[in-house]
A and B are shown apart, each in its own frame.
Chain A
Amino acid sequence: MQRIKSLFVANRGEIAVRIIRACRELGIASVQAYSEADSESLAVKLADKAVCVGAAPSKDSYLNRKALIDAVKAAGADAIHPGYGFLSENAEFADECVKAGLIYVGPEASVIRMMGDKAAARRLALDVGVPITMGSPDPIKSPDEAIEIGKRIGYPLLVKAAAGGGGRGMRVVTQESELRESLERAAAEATAAFGDGSLYIEKYLSPVRHVEVQVIGDGKDVIHLGERDCTIQRRHQKLVEEGPSPALTPALRERLTASAVALAKHVGYRNAGTLEYIVDAAKQEFYFIEMNTRIQVEHPVTEMLTGLDLVKMQIRIADGELLSVKQSDVQTSGHVIECRINAEDPEKGFMPRPGVLSEYSAPSGPGVRVDSHAYPGYKLPPHYDSLIAKLLVWGSDRTEALSRMQRALGEFQISGVPTTIEFHKRLIREPDFIASNIHTRYVKEHMWAGHPTQHML
């Protein structure tokens, strides 16, 4: 029996629109939270009901746990979807929602907490036999311990915040003499950003690819829905995602997806989730980095490959249903590429550029999907991320997907702010990208070689 009659969307932007669409298809009423900066947002226009939860800065609105839960209760909603970012991986918030009698669209708080602690997640991976990069399984206790580890595994090293994510609180250390200062600065940054200064260290591998596995579990069973290759990045943040990964042999794909299912099953995972790995394509080896216990920005890549609706599946599972598909039912077809269209100026080191979209016209036609909250005249506030739209294309193979993406990028018209559209057009023409001969530092080291803003990437 369906318990969820009304769902509260505790997020904004394109993912809020995505969740509202899922609700409508499921016959669930949607209640949209919004900040004072988002009163004109598409999500507010589309939702059945909208509630202002605070001022523009995220801490006053989309990160304001009390205001959100009060708003859910006042609106009479019985479920809450956290989207991605903001409170989507905040265990206290998940706890508070459940204590307030709400259905939280996500895993149990204890699972969020465990996976949110990157060091604990690494230990867990070791327990299940999933390979991790060499480094400290536990947060480091002193600079001397870090120096010991450095001697053992060699440089370059990566210093990471245990509570970090999204590329924040991460530093590359190339030699021992830099280690002490990097630890101090990383700890200070991590304390400021996440309220937790614990750090761990791992071997910095390069050149590598970034590949992630989509899983979904109902608390009893976990299945995987294939992988996404997210190697094209700037400042450790993704710009392009595609599936299947051009770098995996069938044998490696089998091992990778099996490891993801094993890890998720080990914690009785219930929700959509993503396990991130770095892949050394030359050696056909992979190493677990972290698990994201929420819907991911790039989830539509998997939706287009499998024909499944991940957001609806999340909501149904939260409502107590079991998975309606078995692993053997999951088939992928063709190739999908997603380009993130951001309000950023690539020529100025991908500097963010909030402003008004004086013109906005998205591409369409065969094999094209655009997930966006933008419309002509929409004002992108400076308070939130720079994503304007996710442009996805499906092709019967990668070659068709590439030419279709080039065609779709050519149709995309945005004026008023600089965007990443021209960057993507250039990337799709790069022989190395066409051959998928790429690594996570490709944009910085190859495309931006000699560019005055290379250091900013």
Chain B
Amino acid sequence: MADTKVVSEVTGSVWKVLVAVGDSVEADSPVVLIESMKMEIPVLAPDSGVVTEILVATGDPISEGQAVIALKT
């Protein structure tokens, strides 16, 4: 078991948070949608695990490399 911060690869803003604390997610499944330059870019879970923390809210500005959720993998 390890704690993993899931980061956005793109600068933009949070379009939608797709998971809640306690949810189990599969590797490569989308957890947050980022809107950047009018495109919706999914942030994918790098591993399967359980969501332990949501670090952003809808509408928040996001920088490249910023963590959006925490996962226990």
| Chain B residues within 8 Å of A382, by CB | 11-13, 36-37, 61
Comparing A2-10, A329-337, A347-355, A433-441, the segment that makes contact with chain B is A347-355
> CA A385 – CA B38 in complex, angstroms?
5
Main secondary structure of the interface of B (DSSP, over half): strand
Chain B: minimal CB distance from A355 (Å): 8
Question: Which B residues between 1 and 34 are near A, CB-CB below 8 angstroms?
Answer: 9-13
Instruction: Please tell me if B41 contacts chain A, counting CB pairs below 8 Å.
Output: yes
| Chain B residues within 8 Å of A235, by CB | 39
Query: A384 is contacted by which of B9, B10, B37, B61 (Cβ under 8 Å)?
Result: B37
Q: How many A-B residue pairs have CB under 8 A?
A: 37
- The tally of residues in B whose CB lies under 8 Å from a CB in A reads 11
Interface size bracket, A side: 10 to 19
Chain A: minimal CB distance from B33 (Å): 11
Question: Which A residues between 98 and 112 are near B, CB-CB below 8 angstroms?
Answer: none
Instruction: Please tell me if A343 contacts chain B, counting CB pairs below 8 Å.
Output: yes
CB pair A386 B39 closer than 8 Å:
yes
CB pair A343 B9 closer than 8 Å:
no
Chain A: minimal CB distance from B16 (Å): 8
> CA A355 – CA B10 in complex, angstroms?
11
CB pair B36 A354 closer than 8 Å:
yes
Question: Which A residues between 277 and 314 are near B, CB-CB below 8 angstroms?
Answer: none
CB pair A348 B9 closer than 8 Å:
yes
Question: Which B residues between 47 and 73 are near A, CB-CB below 8 angstroms?
Answer: 61
Question: Which A residues between 24 and 83 are near B, CB-CB below 8 angstroms?
Answer: 57
| Chain A residues within 8 Å of B13, by CB | 57, 382-383
| Chain B residues within 8 Å of A344, by CB | 37
Chain A: minimal CB distance from B31 (Å): 16
> CA A157 – CA B28 in complex, angstroms?
27
> CA A382 – CA B12 in complex, angstroms?
5
CB pair A353 B10 closer than 8 Å:
yes
- Interface residues of A, Cβ cutoff 8 Å to B: 57, 235, 343-344, 348, 351-355, 380, 382-386
The 21 sampled A-B contact pairs (Cβ below 8 Å) are A57-B13, A235-B39, A343-B37, A344-B37, A348-B9, A352-B12, A352-B37, A354-B12, A354-B36, A354-B37, A355-B11, A380-B37, A382-B11, A382-B13, A382-B37, A382-B61, A383-B13, A383-B37, A384-B37, A386-B38, A386-B39
- Interface residues of B, Cβ cutoff 8 Å to A: 9-13, 36-39, 41, 61
Give the 4 A-B CB pairs with smallest separation, nearest first. Answer: A352-B37, A386-B37, A352-B36, A382-B12
Given contacts A344-B37, A352-B41, 11 further A-B contacts (CB under 8 A): A343-B37, A352-B36, A352-B39, A355-B11, A382-B11, A382-B37, A383-B13, A383-B37, A385-B37, A385-B38, A386-B38
